[in-house]
A and B are shown apart, each in its own frame.
Chain A
């Protein structure tokens, strides 16, 4: 009986799995081609940027770095020193101590000799109460906001409230910037009038060293987990280059993102979700389309930021669950974009792929694994079908990773040592056995977390949509 039923559904499921994963692979191929073109185009630009004249400039604008910090006593000083020592001179570093329970604030206070300054900033965006605003006596570009604990989005909103500069850069407290690569960003950042947000490459920092504000990867990767995350980042960021060219990106990594401050503030700031980096980019795309404001969101391939990846399976699992939950939340907030021609290629391609190819992928993959196991047990699914399916799912991902490494070799060469290159190739072969399945499980747990707090998500969704409607009534966004 079960067998007959299984045979019946397999007439649908067999081709479904093959077509679904082939569709994703074809999309990846297209993204890869466009991504590679973008990377090489950017390399040409870099060859022609005269950085000496930029660094000698006396008239460049000030940029604000927003660094939300919750219990970051281990990294915060390194991160702030890294920012302070950037060759780009015109900067304001806004650290938001988000009610840390460790000694993050005390460390900042002692190291930079903070003194309290009057709080005359307008609270345009709501955030948890601010206990005090401090400025460093030693480096006046450092401003510290001490506030009650909210989430990262709340800290960022508090930072936006005091940010007066045209551009702000959100950066994680455990992320470092490679000075040379940051210099390369200055021209594209300042010379694109329609650009409201810019993303750049983020890489895994574990096992790397920061020598005079320059990242050295000679001893990278230091373990299996680091390598796995590095491979994922390489693939993801190349794909984002591709999305940049064909449909617009749905995310700019929160570890390092450049925004036009005024546009983010007008759009309502960061939303209450763990994937606030993804949500803000979807919202900006939506608001700009709805208000018919010409805009551009750019993703540069330059590997500028190096972030600490989780070092234990538990921490990594937690991160992936929250990412998945956040992705689903953001999709729910902006569900009206799905397949909606009003939002141009973003609504039609990017957002559709976000749902079908990204958010739902772990569900389909789990279903495929279950189908294979049950089918083999019942003797319904043949071994050759299994090989075919795995060749499509696993074989392709290995090829895709190697392509990414090749592009890396032909462009930025951030992993110059033979050891690093060999280990990355070796680990990308191993990725399909264990690590991939683990991420599927974590992401599925993210689904459960999403449904568990669905009530409050609906409330947040309502308020976000109402605020967007109010904004749209005001007309075009000005900046």
Chain B
């Protein structure tokens, strides 16, 4: 005698059906895995052939300085995406007038018309393609499209569009990027900073300086200060005086960093004053910045900072003294463990590590 439920499942048909289904799925899966490998290798071959064709065409035009004719072999290229991929690869390796002119021609003939169609596409990968096309060789008339992509919900598109807008080389684009940068989450900003600072272009830095001096929004102002602090260039920033008096410690910190990398006429005194700031991070940056102003007087201030209540400040002061050289090292060596154990500790730390 068997149980009620077991009897209910006695039907061999159900079991046979289930096992057959499992067997079919298993066979299909195994076939799919094998098929995928075959398709993949075929696709790779096809892609290689198409890429080779594009590659030959580009080399032919660059090396033999052949006239670009959009109605020749170029028209036979079926995939704009593949063309874009190859162009991007070449763009990383080639430079010069021939390449620039060919790039512009190809972009105008094939890539930019394609990009314009994709700007509003609902699929983000397509919009990304549009941004990449613009980034390869942008035209001023596409500025509005680029700006709309800078506000795209997908970060990858925003960043690529920002990189495209940078190539327009105008102040409007810089303002747009700085505004976008200021709205971004803390760590996402790094990618825009790189775009803005990558070329180390003087006109761009001057524009940033102009925006910093006129911008009332604190976040955007801090963004500009942060960018200015990253590069050293010859500039006088009168707005820093007001920034150093700001009640917002973030502004003071950003301003002190600008003093560190872009010495102003009063930087030495500002840094010395900042050694008394209530914020330890600002005091540490002041100690760090004073290594660039190694006067006898400033060395004394750094020596005093060795006794600061914060370890961060003490270690930065010690580090600066070591970097200053002979005079600073002498002070570090003179520290007495019995008179001031914390200053001695910081000095030893600096002396032992290879800065």
* Chain A interfacial positions (CB closer than 8 Å to B): 6-7, 10-15, 18, 44-45, 47-50, 52-54, 56-61, 115, 117-118, 120, 135, 137, 140, 166, 187, 189-193, 375, 379-382, 384-385, 387-388, 391-392, 395-396, 398-399, 402-403, 405-406, 409-410, 421, 425
Whether B353 contacts A48 by the Cβ 8 Å rule is: no
* Chain B residues within 8 Å of A166, by CB: 186-187
Whether B187 contacts A190 by the Cβ 8 Å rule is: yes
Whether B19 contacts A387 by the Cβ 8 Å rule is: yes
Option from A48, A53, A391, A406 in Cβ contact (under 8 Å) with B128? A48
Option from B12, B19, B349 in Cβ contact (under 8 Å) with A395? B19
Whether A388 contacts B36 by the Cβ 8 Å rule is: no
B233 within 8 A of A: no
Option from B4, B346, B352 in Cβ contact (under 8 Å) with A11? B4
Whether B353 contacts A115 by the Cβ 8 Å rule is: yes
* Chain B residues within 8 Å of A58, by CB: 194, 197, 230
| Segment with Cβ contacts to A, from B26-34, B97-105, B111-119 | B26-34
Selected A-B contacts with CB under 8 Å, 17 pairs: A7-B3, A10-B5, A13-B5, A14-B6, A18-B9, A47-B125, A49-B156, A57-B190, A135-B353, A140-B354, A384-B9, A384-B15, A388-B14, A388-B18, A402-B29, A406-B33, A409-B36
Whether A406 contacts B353 by the Cβ 8 Å rule is: no
Whether B190 contacts A10 by the Cβ 8 Å rule is: no
* Chain A residues within 8 Å of B36, by CB: 406, 409-410
Whether B230 contacts A59 by the Cβ 8 Å rule is: yes
* Chain A residues within 8 Å of B354, by CB: 137, 140
Q: B336-347 interface mask toward A, CB cutoff 8 Å, 1 = contact, 0 = none?
A: 000000000110
Whether B194 contacts A380 by the Cβ 8 Å rule is: no
* Chain A residues within 8 Å of B160, by CB: 50
Option from B32, B156, B163 in Cβ contact (under 8 Å) with A406? B32
Whole-angstrom CA separation of A190 from B187 in the bound complex: 5
Whole-angstrom CA separation of A380 from B7 in the bound complex: 10
Of all A-B residue pairs in the complex, the 7 with the closest CB atoms, nearest first, are A14-B5, A193-B185, A120-B311, A10-B3, A190-B187, A402-B29, A395-B22
B171 within 8 A of A: no
Option from B155, B190, B352 in Cβ contact (under 8 Å) with A115? B352
Whole-angstrom CA separation of A5 from B204 in the bound complex: 87
* Chain A residues within 8 Å of B12, by CB: 384
B5, chain A: closest CB distance, angstroms? 3
Whole-angstrom CA separation of A57 from B196 in the bound complex: 11
* Chain A residues within 8 Å of B345, by CB: 118
Q: Name, among A58, A120, A189, the residue most crowded by chain B CB atoms within 10 Å (CB to CB).
A: A120
Whether A137 contacts B187 by the Cβ 8 Å rule is: no
Whether B185 contacts A380 by the Cβ 8 Å rule is: no
Whole-angstrom CA separation of A396 from B26 in the bound complex: 10
Whether B33 contacts A409 by the Cβ 8 Å rule is: yes
* Chain A residues within 8 Å of B29, by CB: 399, 402-403, 406
Whole-angstrom CA separation of A49 from B132 in the bound complex: 11
CB-contacts of B149-195 with A (<8 A): 155-156, 160, 163, 185-188, 190-191, 193-194
Whole-angstrom CA separation of A59 from B7 in the bound complex: 71
B73, chain A: closest CB distance, angstroms? 27
B2 within 8 A of A: yes
* Chain A residues within 8 Å of B163, by CB: 53
B300 within 8 A of A: no
Whether B352 contacts A402 by the Cβ 8 Å rule is: no
Q: Name, among A13, A52, A409, the residue most crowded by chain B CB atoms within 10 Å (CB to CB).
A: A409
Whether A402 contacts B187 by the Cβ 8 Å rule is: no
Whether A53 contacts B194 by the Cβ 8 Å rule is: yes
Which chain B residue has the least Cβ–Cβ distance from A416?
B37
A24, chain B: closest CB distance, angstroms? 16
Whole-angstrom CA separation of A7 from B1 in the bound complex: 9
Total number of A-B contacts with CB less than 8 angstroms? 145
* Chain A residues within 8 Å of B22, by CB: 391, 395-396, 399
Given A50-B160, A166-B187, A399-B29, 17 more A-B residue pairs with CB atoms under 8 Å apart are: A7-B1, A7-B4, A12-B5, A13-B5, A14-B3, A18-B9, A61-B187, A118-B345, A166-B186, A190-B188, A192-B185, A193-B185, A388-B15, A391-B19, A402-B26, A402-B29, A405-B33
Option from A12, A52, A61, A409 in Cβ contact (under 8 Å) with B92? A52
A373, chain B: closest CB distance, angstroms? 15
Whether B2 contacts A137 by the Cβ 8 Å rule is: no
| Known contacts A14-B5, A402-B30; is-contact A118 B349 (Cβ 8 Å) | yes
A400, chain B: closest CB distance, angstroms? 10
Option from A11, A118, A190 in Cβ contact (under 8 Å) with B3? A11
Whether B6 contacts A382 by the Cβ 8 Å rule is: yes
Option from B6, B197, B198, B352 in Cβ contact (under 8 Å) with A137? B352
Whether A59 contacts B5 by the Cβ 8 Å rule is: no
| Known contacts A14-B9, A391-B22, A421-B33; is-contact A381 B3 (Cβ 8 Å) | yes
Whether A425 contacts B30 by the Cβ 8 Å rule is: yes
A262, chain B: closest CB distance, angstroms? 12
CB-contacts of B13-27 with A (<8 A): 14-15, 18-19, 22, 25-26
Whole-angstrom CA separation of A224 from B108 in the bound complex: 58
Whole-angstrom CA separation of A379 from B1 in the bound complex: 7
* Chain B residues within 8 Å of A403, by CB: 29
Q: Name, among A191, A402, A410, A425, the residue most crowded by chain B CB atoms within 10 Å (CB to CB).
A: A191
CB-contacts of B50-70 with A (<8 A): none
A1, chain B: closest CB distance, angstroms? 14
Whole-angstrom CA separation of A410 from B194 in the bound complex: 34
Whether B187 contacts A15 by the Cβ 8 Å rule is: no
Option from A10, A115, A398 in Cβ contact (under 8 Å) with B6? A10
B315, chain A: closest CB distance, angstroms? 8
Q: Name, among B3, B30, B194, the residue most crowded by chain A CB atoms within 10 Å (CB to CB).
A: B3
* Chain A residues within 8 Å of B190, by CB: 57, 59-61, 190
Whether B25 contacts A399 by the Cβ 8 Å rule is: yes
* Chain A residues within 8 Å of B187, by CB: 61, 166, 189-191
Whether B197 contacts A59 by the Cβ 8 Å rule is: yes
Whether B6 contacts A44 by the Cβ 8 Å rule is: no
* Chain B residues within 8 Å of A140, by CB: 353-354
Whole-angstrom CA separation of A57 from B8 in the bound complex: 67
Whole-angstrom CA separation of A15 from B18 in the bound complex: 16
Which chain B residue has the least Cβ–Cβ distance from A13?
B5
B10 within 8 A of A: yes
Whether B6 contacts A187 by the Cβ 8 Å rule is: no
Whole-angstrom CA separation of A48 from B156 in the bound complex: 7
Whole-angstrom CA separation of A189 from B186 in the bound complex: 12
Which chain A residue has the least Cβ–Cβ distance from B7?
A382
B231, chain A: closest CB distance, angstroms? 10
B62, chain A: closest CB distance, angstroms? 21
Option from A15, A57, A192, A425 in Cβ contact (under 8 Å) with B5? A15
